[in-house]
């Protein structure tokens, strides 16, 4: 860290950063990175790793620098912690929204099947192995009957509510079955 800023109060560093001093802004960001990492450890976002949460917290630091008002009787440190928490919580809430369901509920297509060159799908051996994998999954050795039925309806484009109605189950039961199926698929192919 830059020694010329080490003895300055955070509030003074914020003023310098707002006046265009990029070094002061970078010093503040580095200074608060450990605070962000500490807060990121206690949160979880579905489909994200810890570094994604840290990045959200870092956005909170930028917002704190831009939005801090020294006349509000709060230290920058207190304000920064609030901004970090709010940014992370906003990201968590956004990840839970149904409009992101296709992204949150998707099974990644990366893995062994992606490693095959496109030409390998004309190779009889690759096709046989792929067919064998699908038969294995559909044969009941991987999925329960409910998971398989729910997964097949889901792959047809039905929503969880529609699948629940078709199968005569609750939406929660369908959600649980799909989550188990996705986990099993991930373990099988990744």
Following DSSP, what letter does each residue of 132-168 receive, concatenated? HHHHHHHTTSSS-HHHHHHHHHHHTT--HHHHHHHHT
Q: What is the distance between the alpha carbons of residues 166 and 182, in angstroms, rounded to a whole number?
A: 20
Give the residue ranges of DSSP H helices in the chain.
3-6, 10-18, 22-40, 50-67, 76-96, 101-104, 112-115, 124-138, 145-155, 160-167, 171-189
Residue 119 and residue 155: Cα distance in Å, rounded?
25
At 75-106, the pLDDT tens digits run 888 889 888 989 888 888 877 766 655 555 55
Q: Report residue 111's pLDDT band, with 50, 70 and 90 as the boundaries.
A: very low
Extents of the domains making up the chain: 3-98, 105-189
Q: Where residue 47 falls among pLDDT bands split at 50, 70, 90?
A: low
Report whether pLDDT(167) > 90: yes
Name the most confidently modeled range: 64-73, 118-127, 147-156: 64-73
CATH number of 3-98: 1.10.1740.10
What pLDDT sits at residue 95? 74
CA distance linking residue 10 with residue 74, whole number of Å: 12
Q: What is the DSSP letter of 26?
A: H
Model pTM above 0.75: no
């Amino acid at each position: 860290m830059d020694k010329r800023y080490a003895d300055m109060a955070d509030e003074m560093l914020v003023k310098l950063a707002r006046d265009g001093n990029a070094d002061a802004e970078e010093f503040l960001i580095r200074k608060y990175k450990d605070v962000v990492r500490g807060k990121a450890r206690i949160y979880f976002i579905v489909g994200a790793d810890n570094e994604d949460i840290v990045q959200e917290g870092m956005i909170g630091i930028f917002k704190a620098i831009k939005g801090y008002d020294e006349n509000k009787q709060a230290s920058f440190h207190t304000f920064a912690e609030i901004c970090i928490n709010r940014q992370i919580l906003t990201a968590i809430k956004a990840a839970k929204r149904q409009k992101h369901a296709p992204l949150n509920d998707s099974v990644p297509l990366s893995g062994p099947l992606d490693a095959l060159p496109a030409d390998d799908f004309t190779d009889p051996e690759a096709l046989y192995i792929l067919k064998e994998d699908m038969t294995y999954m559909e044969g009941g050795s991987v999925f329960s009957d409910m998971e398989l039925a729910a997964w097949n309806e889901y792959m047809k484009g039905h929503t969880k509510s529609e699948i629940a109605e078709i199968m005569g189950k609750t939406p929660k039961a369908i959600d649980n079955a799909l989550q188990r199926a996705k986990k099993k698929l991930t373990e099988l192919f990744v």
